[in-house]
Each structure stands twice: as structure tokens, then as C-alpha cells.
Amino acid sequence: MKTEFTPTRAALLGGAALALALTAMPSGAQDHTEGAAQSYSPSLTTLAEINVEIPGRKPDDPVITDEEFQRAANIYFERCAGCHGVLRKGATGKPLTPDVTRDLGYDYVHSFITYGSPAGMPNWGSSGQLSEEDVDLMARYVLMEPPAPPEFGMPEMKNSWKVIVAPEDRPTSKQNDWDIENLMSVTLRDSGEIALIDGASYEIKTIIKTGYAVHISRISASGRYLFVIGRDAKVVMIDLWMETPAPVAEIKIGSEARSIETSKFEGWEDKLAIAGAYWPPQYVIMDGATLEPLKIVSTRGNVYDEQTYHPEPRVASILASHYKPEFIVNVKETGKILLVDYTDLKNLKTTEIEAERFLHDGGLDSTHRYFMVAANARNKIAVVDTKEGKLTALVDTEGQTPHPGRGANFIHPVFGPVWSTSHLGDDSVALIGTDPEHHPDQAWKLVDSFYALGGGSLFIKTHPNSDHLYVDATLNPDEETSAGVAVFKISEMTADADPEFTTLPIGEWAGIADGQPRVVQPEFNKDGTEVWFSVWNAKDKESAIVVVDDKTLELKKVIKDPRLITPTGKFNVFNTGKDIY
């Protein structure tokens, strides 16, 4: 087991530079002139598109015009809110409210914005990411009271809600000859679309307009409906039974969001959907056939450990329990995992589990009983028993900023069943034992950790039919590293030595000459015989999807098409719907 980590340059990639990056910024001085972030649009948010109401001015406020204030608010929402919070109350980063910034003074704040800090503040000015004029503007802006984006409640949701095809007008049986279970729903980030690609023929079956920068795709329990949610908080529901699958309902649930899920417990299949928002901090439960909003619940409240009020605890990942009629809702800033009983929305019952702060992404273990979620800024994995409804363990990954996606479950030759995560902040892979019945000594403990290709990993993946574990290095600033993938052979892993890995040159195989394409998110086909990789380039350059034979690790197919604009996340319908990862 590796006991010491050497953070790579990936630890220096904080801020709002890449669409898939965490809002939690790892520590380390940050030079934004050298990272791959410059190849992409810096915007991670749609809040920057909103004109905010300027708070009441005070006599001692800095001189700033209305136009300058709006520009400063846009810059803040794009680049700063992920760490410091929409209301500047602090999240992963420190508070930037006037009671703090005015004590520091204009000169200090100006210097801090310009040069950054070893604790993780980007050097926005010296890197050239902000002009001298913008640094001056932002230094003045944070001395003033912060504006609040508008709330988004039931009237706004109802106004945005559209039933495009009523349930009674939809097909009563499948009207196409597509192998729906082997479809890939592929996010086309910058075109505001998804592509549905056939997993056998590699044909792009259709392109569907969605919201901006779809974050995830989720499948209803029956496998019929595909739900996507964009960063603009727009949910689109797609009927895969139609002759050509198309949207049948849509809704906006806020100004910015990340998560969507549907009910999966027996007897509740396809009946409800739930979406969680970053702004306003809330989740909404909807009708599973029409997306009609039924129940909005705010997540504002007290941080679990400090017991202090937080005004904007964002809703991160949401999963559906297989053991109870419950949704598993992760509230990032307060460190709480909510088990929401959806059987009676009028008398809503919620189990509130104190876990750890800055909850982000995660998935279920191989039995679907235990939920594993990364508290990324605290370098821990929280384990929840969804059957008993309580916290089982908090596991330190010994790596920096775990980012598992949904994680990867496999049988280790020595440790038995494990769940694994890679990390954004260093090049480590952590394995956590998940079998309390047959391997009690290893259960809910870090049983092994070892080096992968490089830091900046976003996703780790395997499949029950595969003997390979794939780890990307998407955010690594080194071009060759970010264009490759590490592959470990599971059957050859031991307890005594770090496993060796093979590097697949996915970017080279894609044959893209222009730009700096980055490889992201391994995703298996239904049978676990192929693994697909997005080769994600700038929006004005060529991108691709590369398909690899899992048995031989040889190139099988390169999918290229002018319509594949910034492909990022890919979600196989069967594996996603059945929580196989």
C-alpha cells in the first residue's frame, strides 16, 4: 500500500475552468497560464447570464457603475462562486462578505486576486485570466454587499413546465427497432444537446436538444424514459419507445443544477422523479410521467458539525434506493445525506444523516445496499446503509480530493469485494472493502491505494464482466497524460505491491491533430465487452469517441462526426438504469 502521495500538477487546476471539474478547489499555488483550462470556456455556471439586483448602496461603498456591477457579478458567478459561494458566505473557499473584505482593504484584496495564494486561490491577474481592469473591478466589487440571484419557486417552475406529448398520446409499445438497452446517451456539452449512439453499430441515431451542458443522464426503472439535466437546471424527459426518441416533457427547477434521478423501489417504478439545484438550494419531486412539480424542499440549514446556518447548501448527487422507497439526497455544504421517503409527499418523512462536509458524487456498492459518496474537500468517503438508514463509516482515502463519479465495484483477489475511487488532486486510486459478511476485517476500510497515470482524474470504471479497471486523468495539465488512460488488470492485483498498469493512448488513437483533446469517462457497453471514451476538445475543434475492446485492449472504433461537439459524459442505458459500475 502506498503511504505517501506526491500531488501532481492536477492539484493546481482549481477554479471554474472545466465543465466537469469539482467546485472544491484543491490546495496548492495555481498558475492558470499553463493548465489545460485555457483550451476551454471557463464558465461552469448559468448564473452569470442573470442580471442581479444591486443591493442598496452605502456612502462608503467603492465607486462602481451599474454596468460595472453587473459585469463583476457575472465574473464572480463564473469563476468564484463555486468555491466562495453564490452569496460570498464561503464554501470550500473563505467568506468574501464586506465584514471580511473591508477589514482587509482594497490593496490587500487587489493583490490577492492578482497573485493568488498557496492555499488554493488562483492567480487570476498574474496568469492573465483577468485583465488589470477586471482585477480592479473585482477588488471593488467584493468590498460591496453581495447580490442574490432570484429565487425559483413553484410559480416559476410551473411557468417553465411543458408536457410536449401527453402520456395518453405516447406509444403503448416500442415503436422502433433500436436496441435501447445498448444505447449510449452522450453529453454534447457546448451545443446543449445529447447524442443517442447505438452501442453495436456506433451509429448516431439522433441528436436531441436539451439544456446547457448536460451534467448527467439517468434512466427510469423500466428503461423506457431517459432523463437529462443541464447546468441551467433544465430537465428534459425523453421517451425511448417513440419511433425516433424525442422529448415528451421538460421543466426548469432553478437557475443552476446538477442532479436528476427516478424512483426505483418495487411498486414505484417510473412514478416519480427528483432533481436537485445548486441555486436556489433545493430539490423538487416531480411526477414521473409528466415532470409536473409536486413538492419543493429547501436545503438551507445548519452545517452538521459547527451547527451554524448556511444560506446556500447545494444539492449534489441524488440516487434512488433499491431497499426502500427513498431518494438519497446529498447536501454539499452542510455535510448531510437525506433519505427522503417519497410514499407520502404531503407528510414528507426524511432521515437526516450527519456525514461530512462538501459531499459531491458517489454510487452504490455491488449489492446496492451501501451508498458511497465523496466528501471531496475533506478527502473522505461516507458510507450509508440504505437498508438500516444510518451512517456506517467515514473512510479517509489518503488521497487528495476523491472524485469517483459513481465509483467502480470489483472483486479483489485478496480483499474481496471493493469499491474504488480516483482523485482530482493526486494520482492515487483508493480501494475500500465493502463485504462486512465475508470479509469483516476489510469492510469499510481503506484496504489499498496505489498510483495511476496521473492526477486530475474524474472517473474510474469497471464492469462485472471485465478484468480491467480504467482510470482517466482528464484534468492533468500534461497533454500526453490527459490524453491517456491507465488500465489495471484486476486478477493480478496483490496485497504486497502496487499493481502495474497499461497506458492506452486514446488521444493518439483518435487521430485529432488540432487542439488539446482530453480523454474523459470510461463507459462500458451493456455486455461489458467494450469501453468507450470521450475525446473532448474545444468546442470549435474536432472531438471524437474512441471504443476499445475490453479483452484485448485494442482499438475497435473511432466515432467522428461534426455533430459531436465537446462530448463528455456517456451513459449506457442498461448499466445506468441498473446501477452497474
Residues near 169 by Cβ (< 8 Å), separated by ≥ 6?
none
Of 425, 466, 349, 363, the closest CA to residue 92 belongs to 425
Residue 290 has pLDDT above 90, yes or no: yes
Residue 224 has pLDDT above 90, yes or no: yes
Residue 60 has pLDDT above 90, yes or no: no
Dist CA 18 CA 332 (whole Å): 19
Share of the chain above pLDDT 70, in %: 91
pLDDT: is 371 or 44 the higher one? 371
Cis peptide leading into 280, omega within 30 of 0?
A: yes
Dist CA 191 CA 214 (whole Å): 10
Residue 288 has pLDDT above 80, yes or no: yes
Alpha-carbon torsion 174, 177, 183, 188, what sign? negative
Residues 32, 215, 310, 403: which is the catalytic one? 403
Active-site residue, 1 included: no
Residues near 355 by Cβ (< 8 Å), separated by ≥ 6?
304, 335, 336, 337, 373, 375, 382, 384, 391, 394
- Give the position of cell 438508514: 389
Q: What is the mean pLDDT of residues 220-231?
A: 96
Active-site residue, 84 included: yes
| pLDDT for residue 105 | 94
Q: pLDDT for 239-274, tens place per residue? A: 999 999 999 999 999 988 999 999 999 999 999 999
| pLDDT for residue 481 | 95
Residue 29 has pLDDT above 70, yes or no: no
Helix (H, G, I), strand (E, B) or coil at 215: strand
- What are 230's three cell numbers? 443541464
| pLDDT for residue 120 | 60
DSSP string, 227-272: EEEETT-EEEEEETTSSS-EEEEEEE-SSEEEEEEE--STT-TTTE
Residue 575 has pLDDT above 50, yes or no: yes
| pLDDT for residue 135 | 96
The pLDDT confidence band at residue 57, using thresholds 50, 70 and 90, is confident
The pLDDT confidence band at residue 20, using thresholds 50, 70 and 90, is very low
Helices 106-115 and 132-141, packing angle to 10 deg: 130
| pLDDT for residue 92 | 64
The pLDDT confidence band at residue 23, using thresholds 50, 70 and 90, is very low
Q: pLDDT for 78-137, tens place per residue? A: 788 877 888 998 766 788 999 999 999 999 999 999 998 765 677 889 878 899 999 999
Residue 39 has pLDDT above 60, yes or no: no
Lowest mean pLDDT among 61-65, 295-299, 407-411: 61-65
Residue 275 bridge partners (DSSP): 260, 284
Q: pLDDT for 170-219, tens place per residue? A: 999 999 999 999 999 999 999 999 999 999 999 999 999 998 889 999 99
Residue 186 bridge partners (DSSP): 195, 570
Residue 477 has pLDDT above 90, yes or no: no
E strands along 113-264, which residues? 162-163, 183-188, 193-198, 204-209, 214-219, 225-230, 234-239, 246-252, 256-262
Active-site residue, 83 included: yes
- What are 251's three cell numbers? 421543466
| pLDDT for residue 339 | 98
| pLDDT for residue 32 | 35
Mean pLDDT of the chain: 90
Pairing of strands 309-310, 301-302: antiparallel
Active-site residue, 360 included: yes
Residue 414 has pLDDT above 60, yes or no: yes
How far does the chain reach from its first CA to its final CA, in angstroms? 24
pLDDT: is 503 or 513 the higher one? 503
Tell me, what DSSP letter sits at residue 526?
A: T
The pLDDT confidence band at residue 1, using thresholds 50, 70 and 90, is low
Lowest mean pLDDT among 40-44, 50-54, 155-159, 328-332: 40-44
Residues 215, 310, 322, 360: which is the catalytic one? 360
Active-site residue, 322 included: no
The pLDDT confidence band at residue 40, using thresholds 50, 70 and 90, is very low
Residues 25, 32, 121, 237: which is the catalytic one? 121
